[in-house]
Amino acid sequence: MSKSSILTWALAVVGLGLTAPRLASAAGTTLNGSGSTLSKPYQEVAIEEFKKSHKDLTINYGGGGSGKGRQDLADMVVDFAGSDSPYKEADMVKIKGGEVLYFPILLGPITVSFNVTGVDKLNLSPETIAKIFQRDIKKWNDKAIAAENAGAKLPDEDIVVAHRADGSGTTQNFTEYLNGAAKGVWKLKSGSTVEWPADTQAGQGNGGVAQIVKSTKGAVGYVDLSDAKASGLKFASVKNQAGKFVDPTTAAASAAGDGIEVKPNLLFSALNAKGDKSYPITCQTWVIVYARQTDKAKAEALKAYLKFLVKDGQKLLSEIDYAPLPRSLGDKALKQLEKIQVK
Amino acid sequence: MQELDLRGNKAYLDRAFRWSAAGAAALVLLILGLIAVTITGRSLPVFHEMGLKFFTTTRWSPPDALFGALPFIWGTAFTALIALVIAVPISLGMALFMTQVAPPAIRRPMVYMIDLLAGVPSVVFGLWGVLVLSQHFGLGRSFLTAGIILAIMIIPIITSLSREVIETTPPGDKEGALALGCTRWEMIGAAVVPHSAGGLVGAVMLGLGRAMGETIAAALVIGSALGQLTLHPLSPGNSMPAVIANEWGEADTLHKSALIALAVTLFVITIVVNLIATAIVQRSMRRAQGL
């Protein structure tokens, strides 16, 4: 190789090195998000679909849990957070970037999944669920369960309660539901971690709980619909506020979304919703962003992605066993996009 | 080739080296100090709320703002104890085998294998524990399962440190014992063990430090049950690092402070164990060298 050709090569390499980052910064905007693992499957399919029409955008969503998402957004290390619950009053002071906006993106039923010999269908009231999970009821043929399941052949089998080992938004929603719907019976209060009795089993993530239920005779656990279906679990019909036993389906979760009161800032709880067809243990998840953005390109990208999440992306939800937002809520979320402004 | 010039004008290099090396050493202390200050500071809210009850009560209920860490401290100690009971005889046996019995052809691959075991990421041990020990062998998630996994993880450390300590036994001692008619077993008892006892204790204590601090593998197999102050090895429990790993993500203010307080507790205990271990090892090394 002659000297001049080496020089040409060297120049070409240097040239590539110089132009590559410039190209990236001109065309590509990157949005980073973290938080809720409940909404992670939706974020993943939505990002994939959204990219088909927005090739110049890069969007990353890391899980880590709702609490981590809220913390990351408060510290301004991500552009958006996924969270199953809003900021608590005490944490508001720590938010560095000013006012935050909540965009609901999906509803998800939490199943009470079970593995009971010879039983395919089970009806449970919130009071009975509460008694089972706090170990007041220890056998599947207990009178309280039998009373709600006339005709079912309930075996003389020990109940094994499975719950989350890790702090979790699912635990938060499930215990919040029992706290409200089984008032006076439920004693463990509500939170991302509660004081489960010692003779219960714990699994990592929804998948871990599903795995315990699947492999243990007599087990019962709370698992989101998506993971319960993926593991082939059976799940109970739960008595709603109207006194009807309803199966956890995406339709019943959307129905719950119809029967709820939404505040002007789009905060609500879909738990224990009114309506005959509502599945009562329905949780929701939001994407949280700052109202005031500093980077114009980022703000535009964020708006486009949020619009996709609350509108066109909604049709992707049923395939992954989550429920779309009811129309009225979706419209309110769309309208709220106007509040995102560049400072 | 350049000549080495020690007296000439390059003496500043010597000084620069001394200062940068000292700086690096000081940085370690600085980092350790900063960690101690930060985590202690951030754990204060829970001590303000709970006082010493943090160490003496057994209820851990974030919704009630009750944080009693005793069962987790017990879980950490209990699993580490189980791990030592299993790992110490195996490790010492392996170390003695490698130094006193095995021919070099077996010994060298063994050293490689043990180093390899030390390099396996802990999450792999944890998953293996879940799939094989708790499910296949039906041990469930329990103190015992965690203890066995921790034992496997600390065997490489204890084995390789023990091997090095045992190797410092003066050949004269061993030959003397054999010449007096000792069997190999008696020689080990008469020459090797007395000579290396201190170093072996140190090796075991370094293993103990690792076992107590292990997070992910323990979190996966220990069972995450609350309030377990029991000697029953097959009951599910919890340990300090496992609780931190499990609950950190969703914890709110006071709960976070309680988790950090667990970290402080663990930090203090492991530092004490490691200091004792280092002291014992060094003393035995000095004695071995006849100083």
Contact call for A198 and B227, based on CB within 8 A? yes
Beta-strand relationship, B60-61 and B66-67? antiparallel
- Chain B, window 254-273: residues with a beta carbon less than 8 angstroms from a chain A beta carbon: 255
Question: Could you tell me what percent of chain A has a pLDDT over 90?
Answer: 76
- Chain B, window 50-109: residues with a beta carbon less than 8 angstroms from a chain A beta carbon: 59-64, 66
Contact call for B249 and A198, based on CB within 8 A? no
CA distances from B108 to A284, B101, B166 (A): 59, 13, 16
Chain A interface test: which of B145, B224, B252 (most A C-beta within 10 Å): B224
pLDDT tens digits for range B207-229: 998 999 898 899 989 988 888 88
Residues in a beta bridge with A158? A139
Contact call for A88 and B220, based on CB within 8 A? no
Three-state secondary-structure class, residue A165: coil
CB nearest B236 (choices: A91, A166, A201):
A201
Question: Is A217 within 8 Å of chain B by CB?
Answer: no
Whole-angstrom Cα distance, residue B53 to residue B95?
43
ipTM: 0.77
pLDDT tens digits for range A2-41: 444 544 454 444 444 444 443 334 357 999 999 998 899 9
pLDDT tens digits for range A77-96: 999 999 998 998 878 888 98
Dihedral of CA atoms B252, B258, B263, B266 in degrees, nearest 10, equals: -150
Contact list in A for residue B139 (CB cut-off 8 A) is none
* Smallest Cα distance from B261 to chain A, Å: 17
What's residue A116's pLDDT?
96
CB nearest B224 (choices: A88, A189, A202):
A202
| Sign, CA torsion A276/A252/A121/A38 | negative
Match 């635990």 to its residue by tokens. Answer: A171
Structure tokens at A178: 């029992």
Whole-angstrom Cα distance, residue A261 to residue A329?
10
Maximum Cα–Cα distance for chain A, whole Å?
Answer: 92
Q: Tell me: domain B55-288, CATH 1.10.760.10, correct? A: no
What's residue A11's pLDDT?
46
Question: Is A169 within 8 Å of chain B by CB?
Answer: yes
Whole-angstrom Cα distance, residue B235 to residue B74?
13
Q: Which segments of A168-317 are extended strands (E)?
A: 201-203, 219-224, 234-235, 237-239, 245-246, 282-290, 292-293
Question: Is A190 within 8 Å of chain B by CB?
Answer: yes
Helix, strand, coil percentages in chain A from 3-state DSSP, rounded to 5: 40, 20, 35
Whole-angstrom Cα distance, residue B226 to residue B221?
14
Is the CB of residue A238 less than 8 Å from the CB of residue A280? yes
First CA to last CA across chain A, in angstroms? 56
Q: Give residue B4's pLDDT band: very low, low, confident or very high (50, 70, 90).
A: low
Residue B97 gets which letter from DSSP?
I
pLDDT average, residue stretch A196-200 = 91
Most confident by average pLDDT, A203-212, B74-83, B187-196: B74-83
First CA to last CA across chain B, in angstroms? 41
* Smallest Cα distance from B83 to chain A, Å: 22
Chain B interface test: which of A193, A194, A214 (most B C-beta within 10 Å): A193
